[in-house]
Amino acid sequence: MESTVTYDSELNLKATELRLGLPGRDEYEKQTPPIVRSNKRASSDSAEESRLKSNSSVSDAGNGDRETAPAAKAQVVGWPPIRSYRKNNFQPKKTESESVGIYVKVSMDGAPYLRKIDLKVYQGYPELLKALETMFKFTIEREGYNGSEFAPTYEDKDGDWMLVGDVPWDMFISSCKRLRIMKGSEARGLGCSV
């Protein structure tokens, strides 16, 4: 992801532009506002959902715009009350892995605090990046990482540090051990598949 590609109304470089996600997917343009499922939102969203079921009238939690929940059963943060070790290390019998969360630590250069997120909660890279931007209050340029100050990177199963977005989403979530938002200058040296 090294070249800086800009939209040029005459040349229509869209067809050859480098962007995140699998080729052929237009979801980047058409995406609905991403569902940010960090600690702050999930519980009030799903609580809202559950409250609707039980007909108890309750004042809105008032957390900005209401976002639509994904089609699959909404995961409520911290429910059921099971400790992380049991949640993360327990392999269910079913082969479909929807039931187990993939919690990874996220650090950002310059920020003293680590966060933890559940990769399972995001549908793809755009959502993940948006969530990271919101969590750490910075912006990533989509067309390439050169323009921005920060680049999201991750450590994979082999211990190598890669740029986020290089591999298909499913491969990424199964190999990502932790995330680090690096300063752009450092990230430029990272190997990538392009």
Partner 1 sequence: MAFSFPEEVLEHIFSFVHSDKDRNAVSLVCKSWYEIERCCRRRIFVGNCYAVSPRIVVRRFPEILSLSLKGKPHFADFDLVPEGWGGYVHPWIEVMAEAYPWLEELRLKRMVVTDETLELISRSFKNFKVLILSSCEGFSTDGLAAIAANCRNLRELDLGESEVDDLSGHWLSHFPESCTSLESLNIAYLGLEVNFSALERLVGRCTNLRTLRLNRAVPLDKLSNLLRQAPQLVDLGTGAYSAELHPEVYSKLAATFTCCKKIKSLSGFWDAVPAYLPALYSICSGLTSLNLSYATIQSPDLIKLVSQCHNLQRLWVLDHIEDIGLHAIAASCKYLQELRVFPSDLYGEEPDVFLTEQGLVSVSEGCPNLHSVLYFCRQMSNAALFTIARNRPNMTRFRLCILEPHAPDYLTLKPLDAGFGAIVEQCKYLRRLSLSGLLTDHVFKYIGTHAKRLEMLSVAFAGDSDLGLHHVLSGCTSLRKLEIRDCPFGDKALLANAAKLETMRSLWMSSCSVSFGACKLLGQKMPRLNVEVIDEGGHPESRPDDSPVEKLYIYRTVAGPRFDMPDFVWTMDEESALRLS
Among 2, 4, 7, 58, binds partner 1 (CB under 8 A): 58
CA distance 52 to 101: 25
Site for partner 1 in 95-114 (CB under 8 A): 98-100, 103, 105, 112-114
188 binds partner 1 (CB under 8 A): no
153 binds partner 1 (CB under 8 A): no
62 binds partner 1 (CB under 8 A): yes
39 binds partner 1 (CB under 8 A): yes
Considering the complex, state which of residue 45 and residue 166 has its C-beta at the smaller distance from partner 1. 45
Considering the complex, state which of residue 38 and residue 146 has its C-beta at the smaller distance from partner 1. 38
DSSP states along the chain? --S-----TTT-GGGG---SS-TT--HHHHPPSP---SHHHHHHHHHHHHHHHHT--------SS--PPPSSPPPPTT-S---HHHHHHPPPSSS-GGGS--EEEEEETT----EEEEGGG-SSHHHHHHHHHHHHT----SS-SSSSSEEEEEEETTS-EEETTSS-HHHHHHHEEEEEEEEHHHHTTS----
Considering the complex, state which of residue 16 and residue 85 has its C-beta at the smaller distance from partner 1. 85
Region near partner 1 per CB under 8 A, out of 6-14, 18-26, 56-64, 179-187: 56-64
Considering the complex, state which of residue 9 and residue 59 has its C-beta at the smaller distance from partner 1. 59
Q: How far is the CB of 174 from partner 1 (least distance, A)?
A: 17
CA distance 25 to 23: 6
Binding site for partner 1 (CB under 8 A): 38-40, 43-44, 47, 50-51, 53-54, 56, 58-59, 61-64, 73, 75-87, 89-90, 92-94, 98-100, 103, 105, 112-116, 135
